Structure 1
Amino acid sequence: MDKEHSGRLFHFEHRVLLADTDPSGRMRLDAVSRVLQDAATLDVENTSLTKKGPWVLRWMELVARGIPCYLEQLEVKTYCSGLGRAWAERSTVIDSQSSSITAVANWVLLDDLGRSPIRLSEEFLSVYGESANGKTSSPRLHLGQRFSVTELTERLVVPLRYADLDIMGHMNNAIHLALVEEALFQLGIKLLDDFKYRIEFLSEIEPKIPVTIGVRNSQSTTMLALFQNDDIKSIIELAKVV
């Protein structure tokens, strides 16, 4: 994080516990995603904003130097790092004794019915504008432009569980990463100590329809897509940090 950062900065602590880890004691990707999601929620809930949501995640980029382990204490810091018409960018840093994770995400503000984007209010800008420091953020997606379902070399079909749905009736963001973990395990792809990924959310997962995880693996990157009936719902590109 920029040491000269000014404006609102929210922080809290989280300890890596049993439900966060895989059998080796490594914190799973979906558990990291939940901490990032909690950071966003707790920050907004800590303000006096009249409208605090709902927000939907458009894309996220994450860089991990190491990965937290069982019982490690996490120091989480989050702040607004960019603004747009109906969206805002959030940067979050998660530090532990053995690792450092930085994530940047674009969140879109929806109306009270959770259907359509709405413009950020002057009240919101008064709380987060200084932190954004004039930077703009775009919800534009680009992974789909170089990815096709026909290019997939492996496919796994998984059922959508009721427990995967959140308060908005959507498959929660963290579950996308849980399915990525499952695909990596089933295909014998080991997560490196230092890695990065970008995940993009194209459309909503439909309840009661099985999800197919498609994988395209190469020497430099692993690309995974979640889709239903050949309609891509999310794409993630995973690579080594060099």
Structure 2
Amino acid sequence: MTKPVGMLPDPPSENAGYATRWPVRAGDVDRNGRLRLDGIARYLQDIAWEDLNASGFVDSDPAWIVRRTVIDVIEPIRWPDHVSLRRWCSGVSTRWANMRVRLTSDAGGLVETEAFWINVDEKAGTTARISEAGFEHLSASTDEHRLRWAPMLDRMPAAPSARDLAYQIREADIDLLLHMNNAMYWQAVEQFLPGRAELLVEPYRAIIEYNAPITADQSLHIRSEDRPTGLHLWFVTGEKCNAAVHLGPIQHMSANAE
């Protein structure tokens, strides 16, 4: 198919980065067999851990957190099918990196993703410098070696309304860092998709930016607003916007999705 305007760029070479493959899991698809957004997010976590182990940096650079994920669904991946994943670095600095993952399926599915990962010191709870060897490894697949963070989404939530969704945080949502796992945010997003087929017009883009962690003891509400560019969501605890989300057609989403 014709490459959509604004789609994430191709890898620098056919064999760039780390590649793996597995069957689409039945528990990761919706009632129509579509690989859900939270399923995609879990696949990104799984290949990240595999890549870290395969590259040998699990000791020197073991802890990373995600600041933003961009998911471009060009052709939906469906069950039953097998998915091939390729992961490479598309931009790096001394403490963080943009990591691209391309997902393709045997039946012609195509999903392009890019996530902004931050290297952290788990004990200190702060950002950490990437090891020299790790930086050399990541920078080999990109010319962008001074990556900067720039938000893409509006962090000011819409006003409270009757459309707000009170979302119950479950024990299964909490990860090893005692925070709501990244993929679980996407499960909440999926709550807004039934009956909204226009949001999934192919190809479409979904973006999430994590601003502050959500813990099990917090009261979570999700605010929503329809705009000409698509659906905007905000994960709100008290007066704090913990995360922002945007879904809409790729061609309608500019570099700044406000």
Q: What is the TM-score when the length of structure 2 is the normalising length? A: 0.85
Task: Tell me how far apart the structure 2 counterparts of residues 115 and 109 of structure 1 sit (CA, whole Å).
Answer: 11
Q: Could you give the per-residue CA deviations for residues 128-186 of structure 1, whole angstroms, max 9, x where no partner exists?
A: 221123443223324135x333176721101111110111111111001000001333x
Which residue in the other structure is 1:220 paired with?
Answer: 229
Task: Tell me how far apart the structure 2 counterparts of residues 126 and 69 of structure 1 sit (CA, whole Å).
Answer: 36
Which residue in the other structure is 1:144 paired with?
Answer: 154
Q: Does 1:76 align with 2:85?
A: yes
Task: Tell me how far apart the structure 2 counterparts of residues 51 and 160 of structure 1 sit (CA, whole Å).
Answer: 33
Task: Tell me how far apart the structure 2 counterparts of residues 178 and 19 of structure 1 sit (CA, whole Å).
Answer: 12
Number of residue pairs aligned between Structure 1 and Structure 2: 239
Contact kept in structure 2, 1:92 and 1:102, CA below 8 Å: yes
Which residue in the other structure is 2:100 paired with?
Answer: 91
Following superposition, the deviation at residue 111 of structure 1 comes to 0.4
Following superposition, the deviation at residue 5 of structure 1 comes to 2.6
User: Against the structure 1 CA distance between its residues 61 and 124, is the aligned structure 2 distance closer, same or farther, given a 3 Å change threshold?
Assistant: same
Any idea what SS the aligned residue of 1:42 has? Answer: helix
26, 29, 35: which one aligns with 2:37: 29
93, 112, 127: which one aligns with 2:122: 112
Contact kept in structure 2, 1:81 and 1:135, CA below 8 Å: no
Query: Aligned AA for 1:211?
Result: L
Which residue in the other structure is 1:231 paired with?
Answer: 240
Q: Could you give the per-residue CA deviations for residues 56-86 of structure 1, whole angstroms, max 9, x where no partner exists?
A: 1011222111211111111100011111131
* Structure 1 residues not aligned, in runs of 5+: none
* Structure 2 residues not aligned, in runs of 5+: 1-8, 252-258
12, 16, 22: which one aligns with 1:14: 22
Following superposition, the deviation at residue 20 of structure 1 comes to 0.8
Any idea what SS the aligned residue of 2:10 has? Answer: coil
Task: Tell me how far apart the structure 2 counterparts of residues 122 and 6 of structure 1 sit (CA, whole Å).
Answer: 26
Any idea what SS the aligned residue of 1:154 has? Answer: coil
Any idea what SS the aligned residue of 2:55 has? Answer: coil
Which residue in the other structure is 2:254 paired with?
Answer: none
Q: Does 1:207 align with 2:207?
A: no
- Superposition RMSD in Å: 2.0
196, 204, 217: which one aligns with 1:189: 196
199-208 or 131-140: bigger deviation = 131-140
Any idea what SS the aligned residue of 1:180 has? Answer: helix
Q: Which runs of 4+ in 1 moved over 3 A?
A: 1-4
Task: Tell me how far apart the structure 2 counterparts of residues 103 and 166 of structure 1 sit (CA, whole Å).
Answer: 22
Q: What is the TM-score when the length of structure 1 is the normalising length? A: 0.90
Task: Tell me how far apart the structure 1 counterparts of residues 110 and 188 of structure 2 sit (CA, whole Å).
Answer: 23
Following superposition, the deviation at residue 106 of structure 1 comes to 0.6
Any idea what SS the aligned residue of 2:126 has? Answer: coil
Q: Does 1:121 align with 2:131?
A: yes
Q: Could you give the per-residue CA deviations for residues 203-229 of structure 1, whole angstroms, max 9, x where no partner exists?
A: 010222232111111343110111111
Task: Tell me how far apart the structure 2 counterparts of residues 79 and 137 of structure 1 sit (CA, whole Å).
Answer: 15
